Structure 1
Amino acid sequence: MSFPKLATAFVVTVALAACSSSDRSSTPPAPPPEPPVEAPTFEASITRTEYGVPHIVAETWGGLGYGHGYAFAEDNYCMLITEIIRASGQSLEFFGEAGGSEGTDFIFSLVNNNADGQLEERYLSQQPEHILELVEGYAAGYNRYLRETGVDNLPETDPNCRSQDWVREITAIDLWKYFRRIQLQGSTDQGIVRDAILAATGPSDTAPAAAPAEPVSLDELRAAFASEDVGSNAIALGRDATQTGAGMLLGNPHQPWYGVGSWYQVHLTIPGEYDAMGAALKGFPKIAIGFNKDVAWTHTVSVANRFTLFELTLNPDNPLQYEVDGEFKDIVPETVTIAVREADGSMSEREHTFYHWEYGLIVNLASTAAAIDPAFAALFDGWPTARGTVYAVRDANLDNLRGIEMWVDIGQSTTVAELYDALGVIGNPLFHTLAADRNGDAFYGEVSSIPNVTEAKMQDCVTGVNTVVRALTNNAIVALDGNRSECQWGEDADAPEGSGVFGASSLPSFFTADYAANSNDSYWLSNPMMPLEGFPTTMGFVGHEGQQQNLRTQINHAMVAERLAGTDGFDASPGFTLTSLQQLMYDNRVWGAELVLDDVLSVCETLSADNDLAASACGVLADWDRRANLDSRGMQVFTEFWKALTAGGSAFGNAFSDETFWLVDFDPASPLTTPTDIDLSVPANGERVIAALISAVEALQGAGVALDAPWGEVQVLPKNGVDIGIHGGSGSAGVFGAISAGLDEGGYRNIRSGNSYVQTVTFDESDCPVADAIITTSQSINPASPHYADQSELYSRKEWVRMPFCEDDVAAASLGEPQTISE
C-alpha cells in the first residue's frame, strides 16, 4: 500500500515533532568531538649499525637528545648515574668512605649548589632554547631506559649500580652539574687546586689551627700539570698535503678509557639542521670530536693556564677583608654540609667553610709550595701569611657553561672558517682545535678559555716571592698582585662579557693549505714553517715559544715531513692518502729509542762480565725492532729503562733537557731535532744508562714479566676472561700512539688512558664524508653486550670501522630495523 504525498509529508512532520518533544531519552546524544592528537614531547628514531653505533634521527632538538640519551643508557647506564652522584657532591652519602671523596663532595656541593634556582638563574638562563631542549631530551631518554629496565634488572657493569638505592631518574639540572664538573677538570677540580682550596681554613685567630699541610709529591704535580693520562695527537691536512686535494684529518685523543672523559660513538641528525657523527664524551648530548658532510675536527689537550692566583693583602684589623686600590673588600664565608654514610650504614654530617673573594675562593698553598721546595712551605702557610696576606684563585672555567652551544655550532659548520666562528663563544675549556674541510683548507687554533693576562701584566703584577714560584714552575703557577685593580684579568671586546678571558682574535690560530699538527705542546710549532710567536706564556707554558718540545711533538712532525716527501715507505708518491694516514697512526715507532738506543748499545759493549742484569737488558734491546707492535719483543725493557732514565724531571711540563746528558743540546733554532744522542764522553752518563738498565730488569722481574715476551702478551686489555693485546706504548718515551698503563703483576694490565676514539676523515666528490674510526674500549661497559669487546679486538688487529654517514650507507650497515621511541 502506498500513501499519498500529502499523507507522507504529514507523517514525517509528526515524527519530527515527536523527536523534538521533551521525551529524548530514547535517542543517544551525539558523541563529543575527538580531542586533537598531541604531538609527543620527545620522539626519535634509532638505527644501530655495525659495532653498536647508534644513528639518531629526530625532528626537534629535544627529540635528538631523547634518542641519544636512551641509546647511551642502553650501553653505559651505570657510568653516568655514578658520576652524576659525584658531581652533586653526594659520593660519601651513597658510596661511603670506600667509594666517595670528601674533598670532591665539599667542592661540588659548593659550586653546583642549586638552592633557590641558583644554577638556572646564573647559568642556564643564558643558554639558547634549543640547547636547553637538547639536554632536557637527553635526561628524558636516559630515564626512559631506567623505567623500562628497572633498577633490579640493570646490567652488572663496572661501575655497578644494579639494585642500588641511589639509582634514580635524573633531571636536566643533574646533567648540567655533570657538565660543569668536566669543565673544571683543568682548574678547580684539579687535585692540587682542590686541595689548596680545602686547606684554607680561615683566619688563625678565629679558627682552629689546621693540621700541618701534607706536601703533595712531585708525581702528583706531574699528574696535574703534565699528565700522560690526558693528551692527544692531531694532524689536519690541507690540499697541498694530500694527494686528492681534499682536506684530511687524523684525530687521536688520549682520553681516559673509563668513566669521566671516555668516549661514546654516535651519529646525530635533525634533517636540514644538524648532521654530525663521531664521538661524544660519555653523558654529553653533542659530538665533541667528529665530522659532518663538509668538515672534520678534533682536539688535543692544551696545557695553557686555566686559573691564576692573586696575593691579597689583608686588613690588619679584620682578617676577613682585603685591600684593593686603598679600599677594603669583604671575604665572605660559606659553610657547606654533606651527608656521610658510615661503615655501619648510619648517616652523619660533615661541614666545611669556604671563603669567597670577589672572583673565587681563598686558598692555602703550603702543600704545593713544599713540593716545589720544602723551604717555601712556611712562606705560603697561615691566615695571614708572614707577609700579612692570603692567596686566592680565579678560575677561567668556573662560570663557563658555553661548551654545549659551541660544539653544536661546530657540528653545523660547512667550512673551517665557520668552525672558527663557532669557537668564538669561548666555550672550549682546555683544548687545541684542528680541522680540515672538503675544500682543502686546514685550521689550527688555541681558541679556549685562558685568563686574559698579558706578558706585560705578568712582568708588572708578579712580584716578590711570586716571581720565584713562577720561574720554578715554568709559568704553571702565576700569582698576581691582588692589591691593584689593574692587575686583574683584562677584558677583550670579543670575549664573553665579564669572563676575563682572551677573545678569539687575541688567541693563536691560522688557516693553511699545508698542514697543522699538535701533540700537547703549545701553539708555537703547530706548523714549523709558520710558527706562532709573540703570545704570553699563559697560552701554553708547556713547550712554549723557544722551549724544548715533547717527544710526541717531535715524532709527529717528523712523520708528517717524511710522508710529504714520500720517504716513509708507505707510498712512493708524496702526500697523504687516507691509507697512509692510517699507517702513520699505527706505525708505533718509539722516538726515544731512535734518539738514544744506538748509544745505549754502545754502553752495553763496555759492561763488565759480572753485570748480568744490565747484560740481559742489552741483549733484548739489541734484537728489539724499536716498535710498540704486538709482536715487538723488548718494548717492556725500553719502557722501564726510559722511566728510570728520566726519573726526577720537572713536574711542570719541561721536557727531559739535562744538558750534561745530551751530546747535542736543545737548540731553539732546531727545536724538533734537538736534543739528541748521549754524550758518552761524560763517564757519569754511561753509569746512568747502566743503572737505568738494571732498574728496568729489576722492575720487570719483580712483576714476573719476561724481558723478551711479545708486547701483545705484556700490554693487554682483559675483557671477559680474554687478554686483548694492545699496541702502542708510553707517550713519554715518544710513542705517537700513546697508551698509559702502569707495570703490575704480569705486565701492563691496567690501562688508564691513551688511544681512545681515533678517526681518519677525508672527502670525495660525493656528499658523504669518507671516515674510518675506532673506539679502543668498544661501545658498551656491559660484559653481556656484543659491543663490549668487539672494537677493542679490531684495534688490536690494527683494523678500522668505516663510519656510515649518508642514509643509504646507514641502511646498508644496519643491524636491524630502526626503533622509534616517543613520550
Structure 2
Amino acid sequence: MVGWLSLPPSLKRQVEAGNYLTLGAQYDVEILRDRWGVPHIYGNSDADTAFGLAYAHAEDDFATIQDVILATRGQLAAERGISAAKTDYLVAWMGVWEAVEAGYAALPQSTRAVAEAYADGINLYAARNPGTASRYLLPVRGEDLIAGFTFKTPMFYGFDAVLGELLSAEAPLELARDGEAALSWVPCQHLPIGSQGIAVAPARSDDGATRLLINSHQPLTGPVAWYEARLHSEEGWNVAGSTFPGAPAIIHGHNAKVGWANTVNKPDLVDIYQLELNPQNPGQYRLDGEWRDFEVREAQILVRLLGPLHWTFKRDIKLAEHGPVMETEHGSYALRWAGMGEIRTLDFLLGINKAQNRQEFEQALKMQAMPSINYVYADANGEIGHYYNAQFPNRIEGWDWNKVLPGDRSELIWEGYRTFEAMPRTVNPQTGLVYNANNPPFQATDGDDDPRLVDFPPSMGIESVVTNRALQVEALYGADARISAAEFERYKYDFRYHPDSYQMRALQGWLAAQNGVELTGEQRSAIELLRNWGGATDAGNRAAALAVLTLAPVQDENSEHVAQEKLSAAFERAVADLQQFYGRVDVPFGEVNRHVRGSFSLPLNGGPDTLRAVYGGPLNDSGRFENRAGDSYVMFVEWDAAGQVSSRAVHNFGSATLDKTSPHYADQVPLFVEEKVRPVPFQRAVLESQVSRRYRP
C-alpha cells in the first residue's frame, strides 16, 4: 500500500482512470430500485452482487463512503485538514494496516472477491463522477474494506471512550470519567445509544408464527447510519436488511430461513497497563524484572493546510509486549484490546448472511471474528436465541481487570480468546421469548433458563446495567402469554419509563430531597408537574419535556447514582429554558421533540432509553430537540406456520442519504413519525410490480 500511496495523486489518476470506466463490463448485475428507492441487487455471483451494492450505495451516499475509506487508510487529514489528524494517527497507532497487509492473502478467496468487487463498484462511481471524488481516493481496494472493520468494530464496545479517558489530565487509577475524545471523525459513543432485538417462537405467538424485531439505535446520519438494501446472487446470497457505508454485506436483516438483530454490548474488553520506564533509557520498559526495548514504528500523516499546501506529520509509535503505547501527562500506558489485528469480520458477516439454520449461524459465531455485539436470532424452524457475542480475552483470575494493571508482569498479557462455549447465550427458552435491550445476558427471557451470573468469571467483564427498555420488554412482551402480530409491533413503540428504571428511581429520590428547599414560584409549579408525571414521553405529554431535560445527567451516566447538585442544576436550566422559549414549563412534548428532514419538522413520541428511542438533546437555538439518534431502521420479520418469510420495515429518512433533490430524501419520514412500516418485497415477482428504476452499472 505504501508504494502506491507515495505516487502523486495526479499520476495515480492518469494511470488508473481508463480502467475504472470499463469496470461495469466485468460484473453481471442488475439494480432494481423499488417505489421507495431501495436498491434490490441481483447478481450472478456474490462478487457481482457486492459490486452492485457498492455502486447503488455510492449513488445515495458517496461522500460518506469516501470519508469512511479515507479514514480507514489514515488519509482523512489530507482531505479534511488538521481536525482529522487524530483519527489518522489512531489508525496508525492501532496497527490496522500492518494487520491487513499481513493477513489479507490468507482470507478465503470468496471473501476477498466480495471485498474487491465492492471496491470496484466505488471505483466505477468515482470515475463517472470525478468532481465528487477526492484526489486521494482512487484506487479503492479490497484491503480498504477489510481494514474498515479492523478499525471500527472496537469502537462499538467503547474502545474510543477508553482512549479518551486515558488521555484525561488525571492519572487513571480507575479511569477518569471525562476526557478528550480520541477520535475527531469516527463517531464516539457520546449519545447513550441503545438497541433492541426481540424474538418470539411459535408457541408464544397467537398464530404459530415466529417473529423477530430488528431495531438497532444508531445516529441518523454519518458513517454508522443505516442504509437499506436487498441482495441476491445465484451463489446463495439472498438477504434483506441494512448495512453501513463501506460494508460489503448486510449487517442485520434476514434471508429466507434465518434472521438476526444486533444490539451493542459493552463488556470490559480493553486492558490498560502502566509501564515503568528505564530512567536511564526512555526507550526501555520493565517486564519480569528486566528492561525491554520498545519496538518503534513511524506514523506519517499527510495534513491539508491551506489550499494545495500539505504537511507531512511524523511521529514514532512505541510498541510494548502488551500492545501500542500511549504517552500521557501522567505516564506511559500500553493497551491491549479485543479485536487487535482482527481482519475476518467480513468473512463472518458473509457467513451469517448465508446461514440456513441455527447450526450454521452458530458456526459463523464460532469464528469469533466480531469483537463484540449481541445477536438476537430467529428462523423458519421456530428456533430463537440470544447470543452475548464478544471476544472475551483469556485473562487470569484474581485481578480487577476494570482498573489499570501493572505493566511489569507478563502473566497479565493475555493471549487469545475464550471459546464460543464460554459465551453467555439463551437458546430456545421454554417461554418462547428472547430479547436484548443492551442489558446483561442474565436477563434474556421471561423464564428461568437465562444464563446465571455465578457461572461466568469476573474476568469476562460482563456489564451489569439494566436499561429501562429491558424492564419494559419484560413488562409488555413478558406479560403477554400469546403475542399477536399487532401486539408484537405495538409494544415496540412504547414510550414509557418503568417505575423501577434507574431514571424514575433517580427522579423520585431527587424529588424527595426537594422538600423544604427554597424555590421560586415557577420552580414549585415545575416540581409539582414532575411529581405527577407518570413516566410517559408521548408527543402530547405536558411534563415530558421538563422531565427529560431534568434527567439528562442521569441518562448521560446510565445510572441513578448522580449527584443531587447535577439534577438540581439540570432542573433549573430546564425551567429557565422552557420559560424562555415557550413561556411555560408544561409545554406538550411534541413541540419540543421533533423529527427534522428537508421540509419536514414533525412531533415525535419517545425519549432516551424508551422502546421508542429518541435521542435529540440538548435544546437547539429554537428550544427544540432535533432527533439525532435512536430508532432509525426498524424491521419486523415473520415466518408463518408454514415457514414462509415476510418482512416490513421503515427507515428514519429514506434511501437517498445526501441528495436533497431526490424524492427519496425524506419520503419515509411520515411513516417513521406515524410509527408505521412498509412491506419489503423479498420475492422478485412481487418487486417487479413496483420497480421505479432498473439499470446495470
User: What TM-score do the two structures reach when normalised by structure 2?
Assistant: 0.85
Q: Which residue of 2 aligns with 1:519?
A: 437
Q: Which residue of 1 aligns with 2:651?
A: 775
Letter paired with 2:601: D
* Residues 705/447 of structure 1: CA separation in 2 closer, same or farther (3 Å cut): farther
* Residues 501/738 of structure 1: CA separation in 2 closer, same or farther (3 Å cut): farther
Displacement of 1:599: 5.9
* Residues 410/820 of structure 1: CA separation in 2 closer, same or farther (3 Å cut): same
Matched residue of 1:762: which SS? strand
State the alpha-carbon separation in 1 of the partners of residues 354 and 297 from structure 2. Answer: 42
Are 1:487 and 2:406 matched, yes or no? Answer: no
Q: Which residue of 1 aligns with 2:106?
A: 126
Are 1:151 and 2:122 matched, yes or no? Answer: no
456, 475, 486: which one aligns with 1:579: 486
What are the within-5 Å matches in structure 2 for residues 108-187 of structure 1? 108-111=91-94, 114=97, 118=98, 121-148=101-128, 150-152=129-131, 162=132, 165-166=135-136, 168-186=138-156
Q: Which residue of 2 aligns with 1:797?
A: 674
Q: Which residue of 2 aligns with 1:15?
A: none
Displacement of 1:603: 6.6
Matched residue of 1:123: which SS? helix
State the alpha-carbon separation in 2 of the partners of residues 75 and 584 from structure 1. Answer: 32
* Contact 1:87/1:108 (<8 A) preserved: yes
Q: Which residue of 1 aligns with 2:358?
A: 416
Q: Which residue of 1 aligns with 2:84?
A: 101
* Contact 2:274/2:404 (<8 A) preserved: yes
State the alpha-carbon separation in 1 of the partners of residues 158 and 489 from structure 2. Answer: 37
Displacement of 1:718: 2.6
Are 1:614 and 2:523 matched, yes or no? Answer: yes
Spell out, residue by residue over 1:419-466, the C-alpha distance to the aligned partner (whole angstroms, 9 max, x if none).
12211111222211111112221111112222222xxx241xx3xxxx
* Contact 2:468/2:497 (<8 A) preserved: no
Aligned residue pairs total: 662
Letter paired with 1:287: I
Q: Which residue of 1 aligns with 2:6?
A: none
228, 234, 245: which one aligns with 1:282: 245
Q: Which residue of 1 aligns with 2:456?
A: 535
Spell out, residue by residue over 1:566-613, the C-alpha distance to the aligned partner (whole angstroms, 9 max, x if none).
xxxxxxxxx222221110111212336984699699979978997322
Q: Which residue of 1 aligns with 2:11?
A: none
* Contact 1:585/1:737 (<8 A) preserved: no
Q: Which residue of 1 aligns with 2:605?
A: 727
State the alpha-carbon separation in 2 of the partners of residues 535 and 350 from structure 1. Answer: 46
Displacement of 1:617: 2.2
Matched residue of 1:52: which SS? coil
Letter paired with 2:615: I
State the alpha-carbon separation in 2 of the partners of residues 736 and 172 from structure 1. Answer: 38
Out of 254-263 and 343-352, give the one that drifted further: 343-352
State the alpha-carbon separation in 1 of the partners of residues 478 and 165 from structure 2. Answer: 44
* Residues 613/237 of structure 1: CA separation in 2 closer, same or farther (3 Å cut): same
Q: Which residue of 1 aligns with 2:687?
A: 810
Displacement of 1:798: 1.0
Letter paired with 1:294: K
Letter paired with 1:415: N
Q: Which residue of 2 aligns with 1:303?
A: 266
Matched residue of 1:401: which SS? coil
Spell out, residue by residue over 1:734-787, the C-alpha distance to the aligned partner (whole angstroms, 9 max, x if none).
555243532222234443321121111110156641211112132222111111
Are 1:340 and 2:306 matched, yes or no? Answer: no
* Residues 165/737 of structure 1: CA separation in 2 closer, same or farther (3 Å cut): same
* Contact 2:254/2:353 (<8 A) preserved: yes
* Residues 109/53 of structure 1: CA separation in 2 closer, same or farther (3 Å cut): same
* Residues 426/639 of structure 1: CA separation in 2 closer, same or farther (3 Å cut): same
State the alpha-carbon separation in 1 of the partners of residues 289 and 596 from structure 2. Answer: 63
What are the within-5 Å matches in structure 2 for residues 254-653 of structure 1? 254-271=217-234, 273-314=236-277, 318-326=281-289, 328-343=291-306, 345-364=308-327, 381-382=330-331, 390-453=332-395, 457-459=396-398, 462=399, 470=400, 477-490=402-415, 500-513=416-429, 514-527=432-445, 529-532=448-451, 533=453, 534-543=455-464, 549-564=466-481, 575-591=482-498, 595=504, 611-618=520-527, 620-621=529-530, 626-643=535-552, 646=554
Identity of aligned residues (%): 23
* Contact 1:324/1:483 (<8 A) preserved: yes
Matched residue of 1:805: which SS? coil
* Contact 2:59/2:125 (<8 A) preserved: yes
* Residues 391/348 of structure 1: CA separation in 2 closer, same or farther (3 Å cut): closer
Out of 694-703 and 408-417, give the one that drifted further: 694-703
The structure with the larger Rg is: 1
Q: Which residue of 2 aligns with 1:656?
A: 560
* Residues 395/610 of structure 1: CA separation in 2 closer, same or farther (3 Å cut): closer
Displacement of 1:789: 0.8
* Contact 2:324/2:335 (<8 A) preserved: yes
Displacement of 1:619: 6.0
* Contact 2:272/2:405 (<8 A) preserved: yes
State the alpha-carbon separation in 1 of the partners of residues 70 and 568 from structure 2. Answer: 49
Structural RMSD (CA)? 3.6
Are 1:718 and 2:636 matched, yes or no? Answer: no
State the alpha-carbon separation in 2 of the partners of residues 738 and 539 from structure 1. Answer: 31
State the alpha-carbon separation in 1 of the partners of residues 106 and 628 from structure 2. Answer: 36
Matched residue of 1:190: which SS? helix
Are 1:218 and 2:182 matched, yes or no? Answer: no
State the alpha-carbon separation in 1 of the partners of residues 122 and 507 from structure 2. Answer: 55
State the alpha-carbon separation in 1 of the partners of residues 70 and 566 from structure 2. Answer: 48
Matched residue of 1:245: which SS? coil
* Contact 1:239/1:245 (<8 A) preserved: yes
* Contact 1:703/1:745 (<8 A) preserved: no
* Contact 2:440/2:462 (<8 A) preserved: yes
Letter paired with 2:371: P
State the alpha-carbon separation in 2 of the partners of residues 39 and 217 from structure 1. Answer: 52
* Residues 262/601 of structure 1: CA separation in 2 closer, same or farther (3 Å cut): closer
State the alpha-carbon separation in 1 of the partners of residues 570 and 602 from structure 2. Answer: 29
Spell out, residue by residue over 1:124-150, the C-alpha distance to the aligned partner (whole angstroms, 9 max, x if none).
1221111111111111112222333x2
Spell out, residue by residue over 1:713-752, the C-alpha distance to the aligned partner (whole angstroms, 9 max, x if none).
3222332233133332112xx5552435322222344433
State the alpha-carbon separation in 2 of the partners of residues 187 and 113 from structure 1. Answer: 17
* Residues 220/795 of structure 1: CA separation in 2 closer, same or farther (3 Å cut): farther
Displacement of 1:692: 5.9
Displacement of 1:656: 1.3
State the alpha-carbon separation in 1 of the partners of residues 51 and 336 from structure 2. Answer: 36
* Residues 321/458 of structure 1: CA separation in 2 closer, same or farther (3 Å cut): farther
* Contact 2:99/2:341 (<8 A) preserved: no
* Contact 2:197/2:215 (<8 A) preserved: yes
Out of 413-422 and 298-307, give the one that drifted further: 413-422
Displacement of 1:168: 4.2
